Amino acid sequence: MLLQPSLHRHKVSLSSTISQSHPLPWKNPNFTRHQTVNYKKLTVITCSISQIHNYGTVDYERRPTMKWNAIYRRISLMENPELGSGSVLNQWENEGKRLTKWELCRVVKELRKYKRYQQAFEVYDWMNNRQERFGLSPSDAAIQLDLIAKVRGVSNAEDFFLRLPNTFKDRRIYGALLNAYVRNRMREKAESLIDEMRDKDYVTHALPYNVMMTLYMNINEYDKVDLMISEMNEKNIKLDIYSYNIWLSSCGLQGSADKLEQVFEQMKLDRSINPNWTTFSTMATMYIKMGKFEKAEDCLRRVESRITGRDRIPYHYLLSLYGNVGNKEEVYRVWNIYKSIFPSIPNLGYHAMISSLARMDDIEGAEKIYEEWLSIKTSYDPRIANLLMAAFVYQGNLDKAESFFDHMLEEGGKPNSHTWEILAQGHISERRTSEALSCLKEAFATPGSKSWKPNPANVSSFFKLCEEEVDVASKEALESFLRLSGHLKDKAYASLLGMALTGDELSTKEERTEQNHNEENDDENGSEMLVSQLQGSL
């Protein structure tokens, strides 16, 4: 049964919660739009995977709500994150409140859920310094390895693995290391490790296969996904719901609707499998990619019929996917239902809504949703502002983007590297070399820039502009920024400068921090989404 606004006692109209404040500064009627942008360019989204196996670890979701939530909020809302999670935990105990391991593990779980990996790592670090109170298990070690890989890189995770006693090296810790390799697309190490896991008889269930299939999706080797499925069948290892969902994604990314539907039919015949909302969001994504919008919308209706409990994530997918279809009426319908069910909408929800409206060129609607977000936000998230700034720049309205940037600063927002890159892109379009370089310089200097990489297309456009303007100094300046940040070890940037790198000179994923390929795009690349969601398996 589809969710309908009439099913809820309190129907929320779109205009009812929009801020009634004075017009925002960038909404000056003197601003003009110089060009129209097609926001309907499809970005692939595939399924999300919540959990796969917990290997006997505690099912925290079934425990009653306790004071862990207050601890989590204190950590997540720290005004100065540089003080670290440990300072919050010390303050909590100084107030006479005793912390338990269960509460701290639940805090870690929530921090990981919202990708606050540094803070989660700091909680475990605090526990490690108190081992007489918090005896750490192999399961804890697996989670720590996962966090180390994210926060300090894979090489540090490998060192952690090697230092562990053999009694801790069970399938969980091997699975965590395998996942780290896959997330960083380290194919040779992943394949070597899973061979070692086979020798230890650790590959007797679907999870390791799901992780490896995700790797092959990441590197576009879809035939290897089929080989993994074949191996599972040969060894009588049952496919789980996630195996099927990944297989569906692989078929769709190969552009084969027939194969996609054959896999789905096989899935329906498997009595142990009950297709979930992720299954149909995956199929919808693939149909959108193939231009089969009617079939996509049919799948989206099935997504709605399978939403259970208080899960917000399906609504984010529905908003994004209906935006990709270009069905604005459905986007607003889902948005109103979402707001009628939940008392508050997180930033991710507003991000999905604004992004969808921008893709459909409904900039006015996106601005209204932004105003609504301003009226309820607890902190300023620059990623939401970046969506509108990018929309203004793509429309050729740099003045409006700069006015919006000033507004963001007045609201207390802190620009991130992507914010500065958006402005740089606008200046490049206006052939303002000096201003573009200044923005790129800010992008490289902004805190958190180590996890950011400039879009190679923007770098290429800047170099081309420098050549046309015979501006050698500006080109050399950007080249220097790229070199100091280590990006010239990446072929994508080295090739722009005509550099030929040897195998030893090329950077590997092991040497890099995991990169956020496009932080401002709410529609993650399908295979990346699969990897990130597999973290629940730990």
The per-residue pLDDT for range 267-296, each reduced to its tens digit, is: 999 999 999 999 999 999 999 999 999 999
What is the CA angle 365-367-369, rounded to 5?
A: 70
Residue 486 belongs to domain spanning: 417-518
What is the mean pLDDT of the segment spanning 82-97?
Answer: 89
Q: What is the pLDDT of residue 240?
A: 96
- Which residue in 327, 323, 430 sits closest to 35, CA to CA? 430
Among residues 50, 48, 52, which one has the least CA distance to residue 282? 48
Structure tokens given for 251? 């078929």
Which residues fall within 8 angstroms of residue 369, CB to CB, at 6 or more apart? Answer: 335, 350, 353, 354, 357
Mean pLDDT, residues 489-498: 84
At 171-193, the pLDDT tens digits run 999 999 999 999 999 999 999 99
Q: What is the pLDDT of residue 451?
A: 81
State the pTM of this model: 0.75
- Per DSSP, the residues of 393-452 read HHTT-HHHHHHHHHHHHHTT----HHHHHHHHHHHHHTT-HHHHHHHHHHHHHSTTGGG-
Percent of residues, the chain, with pLDDT higher than 90: 69
Q: What is the mean pLDDT of the chain?
A: 84
Q: Report residue 215's pLDDT band, with 50, 70 and 90 as the boundaries.
A: very high
Confidence band of 42 (pLDDT split at 50, 70, 90): very low
Q: What is the pLDDT at residue 265? A: 97
* Angle subtended by helix axes 154-163 and 138-152, to nearest 10: 150
| Strand (E) or helix (H) holding 358 | helix 347-359
Question: What is the rounded average pLDDT of the residues 78-93?
Answer: 88
Q: How far apart are CA 44 and CA 393, in angstroms?
A: 23
- Range with the lowest mean pLDDT among 43-47, 103-107, 186-190, 195-199? 43-47
Looking at residue 523, the DSSP 8-state letter turns out to be S
Range scoring the smallest mean pLDDT among 189-203, 290-304, 499-513: 499-513
Q: Is there a domain that residue 514 lies in?
A: yes
Q: Mean per-residue pLDDT for 483-512?
A: 66
Which tokens go with 56? 């006997």
290 within domain boundaries? no
Grade residue 154 by pLDDT with cuts at 50, 70 and 90: very high
8 Å CB contact between 408 and 388 = no
pLDDT, position 505: 44
517 pLDDT higher than 60: no
Give CA–CA dist 199/219, Å, rounded: 25
Range with the poorest average pLDDT among 91-105, 144-158, 222-236: 91-105
Return all residues near 83 (Cβ < 8 A) that are at least 6 apart.
Answer: none
pLDDT in tens, 448-467: 888 899 999 999 999 999 99
Q: Which amino acid is at 94?
A: N
- Say if residues 228 and 213 touch (Cβ distance below 8 Å): yes
Tell me, yes or no, whether 316 lies in a domain: no
Residue 497 covered by a domain: yes
- Cβ-based neighbours of 149, under 8 Å, separated by 6 or more: 156, 157, 176, 177, 180, 183, 184
pLDDT at 323: 97
Whether the pLDDT of residue 445 is over 80: the answer is yes
Q: With both helix axes pointing from N to C terminus, report the angle between 293-305 and 277-289 in degrees, rounded to the nearest 10.
A: 170
Q: What's the Cα-to-Cα distance from 378 to each of 166, 207, 373, 381, rounded to whole Å?
A: 46, 38, 9, 9
Q: Is 344 inside a domain boundary?
A: no
Tell me how crowded residue 383 is: count the other CB atoms within 10 A of its CB.
19
Query: How many other C-beta atoms are found inside a 10 Å radius of the C-beta of residue 302?
Result: 18
- The 10 Å Cβ neighbour count of residue 167 is 7
Predicted pLDDT of residue 163: 95
Instruction: Give just the sign of the alpha carbon dihedral 457, 459, 492, 470.
Output: positive
Residue 53 pLDDT > 70, yes or no? no
Residue 91 in any domain: the answer is no
pLDDT mean over 471-482: 95
Does the pLDDT of residue 420 top 70, yes or no? Answer: yes
Nearest Cα to Cα of residue 63 among 101, 102, 25:
102
Q: How far apart are the first and last CA of the chain?
A: 34
Given a contact cutoff of 8 angstroms between Cβ atoms, the answer to whether 361 and 36 are in contact is yes
Tokens coding 501:
């790198």
255 within some domain: no
Q: Closest Cα to residue 443, out of 498, 379, 382, 509? A: 382
Give the tens place of pLDDT for each residue, 350-365: 999 999 999 999 999 9
Q: What percent of the chain has pLDDT over 70?
A: 80
Greater pLDDT, 55 or 161: 161
Say what the pLDDT of residue 355 is.
97
pLDDT for residue 27: 58
Q: What is the pLDDT of residue 317?
A: 97
Average pLDDT over residues 228-236: 97
| pLDDT bucket at 5, cuts 50 / 70 / 90 | very low
| Range list of H helices, 360-381 | 363-376
Band (3; pLDDT cuts 50, 70, 90)? very low
pLDDT surpasses 80 at 29: no
Average pLDDT over residues 121-150: 93
pLDDT of residue 309: 84
Question: Does the pLDDT of residue 262 top 90, yes or no?
Answer: yes
Split into its structural domains, the chain has a count of 1
Q: In this predicted model, which residue has the larger pLDDT, 322 or 499?
A: 322
Per-residue pLDDT at 131: 86
Would you say residue 513 lies in a domain? yes
DSSP of 229-294: HHHHHHTTPPP-HHHHHHHHHHHHHTT-HHHHHHHHHHHHH-TT----HHHHHHHHHHHHHTT-HH
